[in-house]
Structure 1
Amino acid sequence: MSNSGSVIALAADKADLYEAHIDTSQVDERRLLRKIDIRVVPWLGLLYFLNFLDRGSIGNAKLYHMETDLGITDKQYLIALTAFFFPYALLEPASNVILRRVPPSVWLSSMMFVWGIVMMCHGFLRSYGGLVTLRVLLGVAEAGLYPGIVFYISCWYKRSELGTRVAAFFTSATIAGAFSGLLAAAISNMDGVAGKPGWSWIFILEGLATVLCAVASYWIISNFPETAGFLTKEERVFVIRRLKDDMQFSAGGEEFKVRYIWQSLRDWKTYVAMGIYMGFDGPLFAFSLFTPTIINELGYKATTANLLSVPVYVWSCIVTIIVGFMGDRLGKRGYINLILFGIGLVGYIILITSKTPALSYFACFLAASAIYPTVPNSVAWVASNVEGSYKRGITLAMAIGWGNLNGAVSSNVYRAQDAPWYRLGHGIILAYIAIGWLSSAAFMFLLRRENGRRDKGERDEVIDSDNSGEEMNEMALKNGRFETVNDARREKGDEWSQFRYTL
């Protein structure tokens, strides 16, 4: 800060507690965190498990003659996959704004209920037009779930706690990848039941499970900390105070203002984050949709290919948990990203050059080790460096939306004519991972440079606690003049001079 008034203001801020009249001295922080973990993370993990299972089930169904039964070509199949991603990506920012105004228990559950119905309808497909229509509707219905869950979790935990929780919830995606192969192999045995092929039953049964969980979610999902019913009043206040101490100044509620959207749109972090998300989301969708097909084309039968995908996902689940834990403990998420993307580069170089099924299968493990752990690590990294609940929600949704939009590209790169080695597809995914590596390096460099400028006082605001009304000096014109430090940090969020970015 730039004047002596800031010292007085800082002292006043320490006494300016959220709900200062409430005594939280009897709250056990460790026990409270366990309570939140049990109530918040597992059910969200189940929702994302079903989300990932439903989204990727078309890759499993394809191996059981779906294309032949519908009379569609490989090109038409790829177009249907592509159609999913446009509404899925474009509607995500709006969904996160709605989520802050509509209770999560209502918004997330309703979203889930609709996509479960759409998924069940896949089991009654008769034509190519119907397939494209349902994939578009599925994209609309699923659009807000992933960014919504990420934003929701970020409103509960400190920055040093976020990685482990996001990793725990995201491992459900790797479990879904493993379980989808087992489930598809089992359900395929229903071929001919009620006159329907095995691939139809994959969609019907998985969609039905989603609908049932959606109904339960209306009562199970909790709302944001300030209104969560499973916490006592003292516990709610304690949670919000600890978040505010962790530079989450908007904890406890924030009135929507259009300027929060513009803060996100003009922030360079939003666009660099989009590059990071592009680097793992493109590969993520390609990997989840085509791993069974790639293994199948290497000489393994459909059921064997589905089963051989299981160990790959189990391995990625283990690595994701380890990386999430290490990210929270070490706090060096940028360096972790560089290592993970580097492993991915090696994996896809091997896939491009390999001429043996065994080596290509090994490279799938390297690819999974890079793609899946990078997602929660990057989510925690970006979320911890954006303050303001609306701004963070919009930034996350834009980055995730742009990353998901690249699924429209990556879902088209594994063409039938390139089988069995798919060198073109592997090369494009390699380029995506390189973009992720470069964007992560740029994010680290720019965050470190900005922290340095703040350490030198170049971003200091003028704190004019006596409200003297003196003419604005150069510092005030550049960085702003505020009556108190609280006013400065509420107004500026992560642009506040005392906020420090994590590397």
Structure 2
Amino acid sequence: MPSTSDRDLVDKFLKGEPHADPSSSTGAQVHRPDVDTSRVDERKLMRKIDIRVVPWFAVLYFLNFLDRGSIGNAKLYSLESDLHISDTQYLISLTVFFFPYSLFETASNVVLRLLRPSIWLSTLMLGWGIVMTLHGVIHDYGGLLTVRFFLGLFEAGLYPGIVFYLSCWYRRSELGTRVAVFFSSATIAGAFSGLLAAAIVNMHGVGGKAGWAWIFILEGLFTVLCAIASYFIIADFPEHAKFLSETERVFVVRRLQDDMQFSAGGEKFQAKYIWQSLRDWKTWVASFKATPANLLSVPVYAWACLVTCVVGFLVLYMSGLAGYIILIASRNAALSYFAVYLAASAWVAGNVEGSYKRSVTLGMAIGFGNLNGAVASNVYRAKDAPWYRLGHGIVLAYIAIGWICSLIFIILLRRENTRRDRGERNEVIGGIVNKDATEVNGHYESVEAARRDKGDKWSGFRYAI
């Protein structure tokens, strides 16, 4: 028989109150009911979490973006001639990076959920720091391909890992601004990398190394040092975070459950969560939505930093679309620069519940987007300078696809919410009479069992649009 709390929750749902608080006294899922959290100051606690969680990840992503783009600076200081490679071989070395970078993201997110973030993310960073340093000792094309492959492999898990990690700390309405803050560090890295490279290259000849080699060595060694520090700085998931008191940990988990993140507080790994993600249409639509966001890594980083912080999680594909139309038609450098400002203003968000399912969906969405970086690496050819119409045209097509997918995403989510409001997705709950419930939607002993098993497929879950 279902518990009294189950009956209360279902009664509220059937009366048109599907957003009943799952962590309230009438809900079936109260995390640690023995802990009194009434004295916790929510605003003060969230400031504490913001200070402890977001800034360090901004530093890590800054280094990630800095290290990834250093090869472009190295090219300016005779990398190609010293390694005796052609422009085509250089482009291939850029392309090689994106395949492991894209394909490993999903697996990395699953491992992240299984392990402690402080261990997994720090280990990834240590790996790419070492590989980055090894860039400075290569002597030929084969060596360049090797280090680029392993750099992509180790860097793969950071960005989707951080996004997933933050989604385990913040409500859906809070996530966009936090992601925007840490993501903005990449734009700062773009503005800073050129200045740093110009300073480091003055070491040309020291130790018998070329200036471009020292760019890799020094930046790589600094990344290694930060990776070691990360083992002690990165906090684990809320239910085990050491910088919070027991009461604060319980409060954070409950507020996430209040936001329909029912998997908060821990979720055992089951292979079905991966299959749920693979079968979910949102995974594939979101993957196409991620494509243009990845391709918008363009040079006006200072402005992009400001825009990223302002727009947060807003989808601005229309501005990107207009920007690249101007880029194709323009023959004026100043106008082209302005168009790039517009194109740098894109963002993507999603709706997935279940921590393992969310980790897979985020990994796939971001991974597919980054896979298209292999395309971007080859369409901006030197012979097309200075206007690069082929590259801009292809990116324009990607942005158009992304905008269309965003529209489809909104329409389908809204339609699904409407169906749930009508009761078309109601599950059969043991001992509870519900005229709209059907066996097709599943048969469960309790509401708690239904929402645990189905995640965002549960009839009481509503997608944020």
TM-score range, shorter chain: over 0.9
The 8 Å contact of residues 57 and 180 in structure 1, kept in 2 or not, is answered as: yes
Deviations 1:189-240 (A, max 9, x none): 2223333222111111111110000000000001101111111000000000
Report what 2:306 is aligned to.
318
Partner of 1:438: 404
Counting only pairs closer than 5 Å after superposition, residues 42-121 of structure 1 correspond to structure 2 as: 42-121=55-134
Write the letter of the residue equivalent to 1:195: G
**What residue is the counterpart of 1:256 in the other structure?**
269
Query: Aligned partners of 2:28, 2:104: CA distance in 1, in Å?
Result: 42
* 2:427–2:444 Cα contact (<8 Å) kept: yes
Q: CA 1:13 to 1:488, structure 2 compared with 1: closer, same or farther past 3 Å?
A: farther
| Aligned amino acid, residue 71 of structure 1 | H
- Is the partner of 1:412 in helix, strand or coil? helix
Shift of 1:394: 0.4
The alpha-carbon deviation at position 282 of structure 1 amounts to 2.7
Letter in 1 for 2:427: E
Instruction: Quote how far apart the aligned CAs of 1:278 are.
Output: 1.1
Which of 310, 332, 345 is the aligned partner of 1:356? 332
Map Cα deviations across residues 99-134 of structure 1 (whole Å, 9 max, x no partner).
111111110101100100100111112111100010
Gaps of 5+ in 1: 292-311, 328-335
**Aligned length in residues:** 450
Q: RCO (CA 8 Å, sep 6+): is it higher in 1 or 2?
A: 1
Tell me the TM-score normalized by structure 2.
Answer: 0.93
Q: How does 1:198-237 map to 2 (within 5 A)?
A: 198-237=211-250
Displacement of 1:346: 1.6
Indicate yes or no: 2:440 matched with 1:478.
yes
Query: Please, which of 6, 10, 13 is the counterpart of residue 6 of structure 1?
Result: 10
The structure with the largest helix share of the pair is: 1
In structure 2, do the counterparts of structure 1 residues 8 and 271 end up closer, same or farther at CA, with 3 Å as the change threshold?
closer
Contact residue 341 and residue 433 of structure 1 kept, 8 A: yes
Give the Å deviation of 1:483.
Answer: 2.4
Q: Which amino acid aligns with 1:320?
A: T
Deviation at 1:360, TM superposition (A): 2.2
Structure 1, residues 128-151: CA drift from partner, whole Å, max 9, x if none?
A: 110001000111111111111111
Q: Which amino acid aligns with 1:346?
A: A
Aligned to 2:54: 41
Q: Secondary structure at the match of 2:85?
A: coil
Q: Go from structure 1 to structure 2 and tell me whether the alpha carbon gap of 1:474 and 1:23 turns closer, same or farther (over 3 Å shift).
A: closer
C-alpha contact 1:6 1:484 (8 A) present in aligned 2: no
User: Match of 1:452?
Assistant: 418
Q: Displacement of 1:59 after TM fit?
A: 1.2
1:415-426 alignment runs, 5 A limit: 415-426=381-392
1:276–1:439 Cα contact (<8 Å) kept: yes
Cα distance, 1:475 vs. partner? 3.6
- Structure 1 pair 5/175, CA: closer, same or farther in 2 (3 Å)? closer
Instruction: Please give the residue correspondences for 1:141-160 in structure 2 after superposition, counting only pairs within 5 Å.
Output: 141-160=154-173
Q: Structure 2 CA distance, aligned partners of 1:150 and 1:362?
A: 29
What CA distance in whole angstroms lies between the structure 2 residues aligned with 1:5 and 1:152?
29
Report 1:18-29 matches (<5 A): 18-29=31-42
Write out aligned runs for 1:135-146 (5 A).
Answer: 135-146=148-159
Matched, 1:243 2:256: yes
| Partners of 1:5 and 1:465 within 8 A in 2 | no
Counterpart for residue 16 of structure 2: none
1:464 Cα deviation from its structure 2 partner: 2.1
**Partner residue in 2 for 1:333:** none
Normalising by the residue count of structure 1, what TM-score does the alignment of the two structures yield? 0.86
In 2, Cα distance between equivalents of 1:495 and 1:16: 17
Query: How many Å separate the matches in 1 of 2:135 and 2:418?
Result: 54
Q: Is the 8 A contact 2:253 2:264 kept in 1?
A: yes
Q: Is the 8 A contact 2:423 2:437 kept in 1?
A: no
Q: Which residue of 404, 407, 415 maps to 2:370?
A: 404
Tell me the distance in 1 between the aligned counterparts of 2:160 and 2:212: 29
Q: Specify every segment of 5 or more residues in structure 2 that has no aligned partner in the other structure, as ranges.
A: 1-6, 14-19
Give the partner amino acid of 2:213: S
The CA deviation at 1:15 is 6.3
CA distance in 2, matches of 1:76, 1:494: 46
Match of 1:414 in 2: 380
Give the aligned CA root-mean-square deviation in angstroms.
1.9
Matched residue of 1:457: which SS? coil
Offset of residue 410 of structure 1: 0.9
Letter in 2 for 1:66: L
Fraction of identical pairs, as percent = 65
> Cα–Cα, structure 1 residues 464 and 426, in superposed 2: closer, same or farther, change >3 Å?
same
Q: Deviation above 3 Å: which 4+ runs of structure 1?
A: 8-13, 472-475
Q: Structure 1's 8 and 465: CA in aligned 2 closer, same or farther, altered over 3 A?
A: farther
